[in-house]
Amino acid sequence: MDSIVVTGGGALNGQIPIAGAKNACLTLMPATLLSEEPLTLTNAPRLSDIKTMTALLESLGAEVSALADGSVIAMSSHEANNPVADYEIVRKMRASNLVLGPLLARHGHAVVSMPGGCAIGARPMDLHIHGLEALGAEIELKEGYLHAKAAKGLKGAQIELRFASVGATENILMAATLAKGTTVLKNAAREPEIIDLATCLRAMGAQIEGDGTETITIQGVDRLHGATHPVLPDRIELGTYMLAPAIAGGEVELLGGRIDLLTSFCEKLDEAGISVTETDKGLKVARRNGQIKAVNVRTEVFPGFPTDLQAQMMALLCTADGVSVLEETIFENRFMHAPELVRMGAQIDVQGGHATVTGVERLKGAQVMATDLRASVSLILAGLAAEGETVVSRVYHLDRGYEHVVRKFQGIGAKIERIKNNG
């Protein structure tokens, strides 16, 4: 199993290009199931999760081709006649459940395994099921599979989510595009990825209004056509690399970065003493002066502080001046990186959904183990500022969400390498 070795101590300078958003691309790819005509995505990230979604779509009968070194994905679902999403593929990735709505809308039935992904919480499917049932689907859980059918087709409905779930919003949004009549989805998620999906669906002929707000209105159409759509920049990759010069010192420009994708995150960086300035190419990030200041962080649905940047922010606050409190409100098991940071000399006390971080003068390199995707990169960030060498094991998680992570860190002067272990 591969490891990543980081030697800390040097300031970071240079530029990092930001890839297309993983979470957006994984949502956009199942949209091909809604139409018999081709859907092409540009600015696609080159990640293992994209390969997993490709395998899933191909298992359903879709044709998927990676072009331009993987940055363009050309798809056609003309022959996609298999409505069964098998456990062996779905178990690898949470986003696999996003084929449920499109399969149900187009074929009137679907059999989809309950999903897998990082072990950071239960993340149940009940909101997805509630929304699709409101559209007229009958759904039953049998032997780990959701068996869904809508013999007479889906019909528009008034739906209110009790929690602004991104995945449920996406599944319902896609299904409703082909439902008869009007669907009004209240307490919808407002993430940029939702807007990106709606933009793509409109390009395919869908009638959608209100994306980016709490209420989305979808007027069902008889069919969708093909389209070409650019994937928006990955705000989580952006935030992760913004923290690199904040932790290690130096100045880094994030090519393609946009403040509007991370307003709450940028506000916390400003509070901590980090400068974020817009350039004609993206964003430039540097410490303003001296030591990082302690700040309190509460994860929230968009536009709040992203849960997917909580682990990375904790790495920054480990050497801040003072005591910081991080509150995780989205997932109940997302502090698994804390014990690994403690191995590096951090002072962290976890009590339920709260982590109290007392800043120390310096972290020290150690052997640590990645527990999930975002935890993996948080340990690399911590290693950049630590004294000595940090060895991060189980880094296969990284390949799911970060494109060329070692190369990008090396490009700004980080002393980092990936060690192949074939044992």
Residues with catalytic function: 118
Tell me how many degrees the CA angle 334-383-303 measures, rounded to the nearest 5. 40
Residue 298 annotated as lining a ligand binding site: no
State the sign of the Cα–Cα–Cα–Cα dihedral 382, 384, 389, 390: positive
Cα–Cα–Cα angle for 132, 184, 30, rounded to 5 degrees: 50
Q: Is 222 annotated as a binding residue?
A: no
For 350: left if phi > 0, alpha if psi spans -120 to 50, otherwise beta; the answer is beta
According to the annotation, is 69 in a ligand binding site? no
CA distance 277 to 29: 33
DSSP secondary structure, 362-378, as one string: --B--EEE--SHHHHHH
Type of residue at 60: L
Q: Is 127 annotated as a binding residue?
A: yes
Query: Which tokens belong to 17?
Result: 């290009």
Phi then psi for residue 54, to 5 deg, are -60, -45
Which SS3 state, helix, strand or coil, does residue 394 take?
coil
Q: Which residue type, as a one-letter code, is found at position 393? A: S
Identify each DSSP E strand in 279-378 by its residue range. Answer: 282-287, 297-298, 323-327, 347-351, 354-358, 367-369
Q: Does 125 belong to an annotated binding site?
A: yes
Q: Is 269 annotated as a binding residue?
A: no
Query: What's 231's DSSP letter?
Result: P
Backbone angle region of 267, left / alpha / beta, with phi > 0 → left and psi within -120 to 50 → alpha: alpha
3-state secondary structure of 65: strand
Interatomic CA distance for residues 73 and 263, integer angstroms: 30
Distances in Å between the alpha carbon of 402 and those of 18, 50, 212? 10, 11, 25
Residue 115 marked as a ligand binder: no
Tell whether residue 22 is among the known ligand binding residues: yes
Give binding residues for UDP-N-acetyl-alpha-D-glucosamine as ranges. Answer: 94, 123-127, 308, 330
Give binding residues for phosphoenolpyruvate as ranges. Answer: 22-23
Give binding residues as ranges. Answer: 22-23, 94, 123-127, 308, 330
